[in-house]
Amino acid sequence: MSSRRSFFQKTLGLAGAMSLTPLLSKAMSEDISDALVELNKLSPEAAAAEDDLWERMAQAYTVSPNILNLNNGGVSPQPKVVQDAVDRYYHLCNEGPSYYMWQILDKGREPLRRKLASLAGASPEEIAINRNTTEALGTFTWGIDMQRGDEIVMTKQDYPNMIHAWKQRELREGVKINWINLNLPIDNDDVVLKAYIDATTSKTKIWHITHLMTWTGQIIPAAKLCAEARKRGIISIVDAAHSFAHVDYKISDFNCDYFGTSLHKWLCAPFGTGMMFIKKDRIEKTWPIFPTDKPQSSDIKKFEALGTRSFAPEQAIGQAIDFHNAIGGKRKQERLHYLKTYWCNALTKNPRVKLHISLKP
């Protein structure tokens, strides 16, 4: 608890908060760290309803009071400490780009990979750092060997970029998409499981699974689907764009073959940062989108050959992980669920509003 207090006091105190005077900035960082300590004294369930403490925690962000933002999922705002880390790394690179980018920050990827792997519950040898979920899942879509007539099972509620990718492969190579149309909301896992099974034939090679639907927040039973796919010898791909650092879980809970997410969503990492997971025994069989000298290598780093990109946002992912861990994944999940329930219960009193999500926890 004292280490969490120290983290906030040091990072927020040094970074400052918006354009406040040093004295006010220090007072604000101390208030945030004190609120964090108080939250950590409570169970995640009890902490969820402590509006006063969460309002004090919100001071760690620079969100404008002039905009009512109802979409924090596409790109989440970053805590000030993350923003300042990006600035520091970016300015450092400009002092000597070739030296600081390639000799210093590029070498920082390995400790960052270990940190991400610890958060995600996976081996560092199975984690690659990229720019977003679309890039990760695009790698899987085009990197997995398939033959004409092979089938993919996916839903009409999956994210458009993923649908477009598989449709393009269907158009170019003659693979076939077997569509599921889920009647949302669904609060029975067996209904989803049956839908995938019913759409599966002897030619089915891949199940594309969206863990948390972007449209309504519907949570899909990814672990059960991955287990069923493995039992049938089918490859499982999990689109976790909206569930990672939002729902409290580990990748190992799914035992999936492929997993992709955007870190600039609920982890509140810099814009344009993402992560992919490929099970160790599938890395060698998966082709990278950007070719390397050893495209059939079993080294996960072959998927990071993206050409020149900014290392500043990538390295600042570490500060976002620290911020997330200081609050705690379970505590964050319970607070978000509390707010969702509060919001939905208030809206249902309006006869003009229809919910497309279940209120069952």
pLDDT of residue 70: 83
Q: How far is CA 35 from the centre of its chain?
A: 26
Half-sphere exposure of residue 47: CA atoms within 13 angstroms, side-chain side: 24
Q: Does residue 29 contact residue 57 with C-beta atoms inside 8 Å?
A: no
- Rounded CA-CA distance 225/223 in Å is 5
The lowest-confidence range among 6-20, 169-183, 246-260, 344-358 is: 6-20
| 196-231 tens-digit pLDDT | 999 999 999 999 999 999 989 999 999 999 999 999
Percent of the chain with pLDDT over 90: 81
- Rounded CA-CA distance 112/215 in Å is 31
pLDDT of residue 360: 84
| 284-301 tens-digit pLDDT | 999 999 999 999 999 999
Q: Domain extents for the chain?
A: 88-317
Binned at pLDDT 50, 70 and 90, residue 358 comes out as confident
Q: Taking 80 as the threshold, does the pLDDT of residue 17 lie above it? A: no
> Which of residues 26 and 212 earns the better pLDDT score?
212
pLDDT of residue 90: 95
> Which of residues 334 and 72 earns the better pLDDT score?
334
pLDDT of residue 78: 96
Instruction: Name the burial class of residue 137, with classes exposed (0-12), middle (13-18) and buried (19+) by CB atoms within 10 angstroms of its CB.
Output: buried
- Rounded CA-CA distance 252/245 in Å is 15
Which helix (H) or strand (E) segment holds residue 209: the answer is: strand 204-210
Lookup result for tokens 């101390």: 30
Instruction: List Cα–Cα distances, 132 to 240, 274, 326, in angstroms.
Output: 11, 4, 24
Q: Is 184 helix (H, G, I), strand (E, B) or coil?
A: coil
Binned at pLDDT 50, 70 and 90, residue 6 comes out as low
Mean pLDDT score across all residues of the chain: 92
Instruction: Name residue 269's amino acid.
Output: A
Eight-state DSSP code of residue 33: H
Percent of the chain with pLDDT over 70: 93
How much is the average pLDDT of 245-272? 97
Phi-psi domain of 57 (left: phi exceeds 0; alpha: psi -120 through 50; beta: other): alpha
The fold adopted by the segment(s) 88-317 is: Aspartate Aminotransferase; domain 2 (3.40.640)
Q: Taking 80 as the threshold, does the pLDDT of residue 142 lie above it? A: yes
> Which of residues 168 and 13 earns the better pLDDT score?
168
| Cis bond upstream, residue 185 (ω within 30) | yes
Which helix (H) or strand (E) segment holds residue 235: the answer is: strand 235-239
| 302-314 tens-digit pLDDT | 999 988 889 999 9
Q: In what order do the strands lie in the sheet with 204-210?
A: 127-130, 274-278, 258-262, 235-239, 204-210, 151-155, 176-180
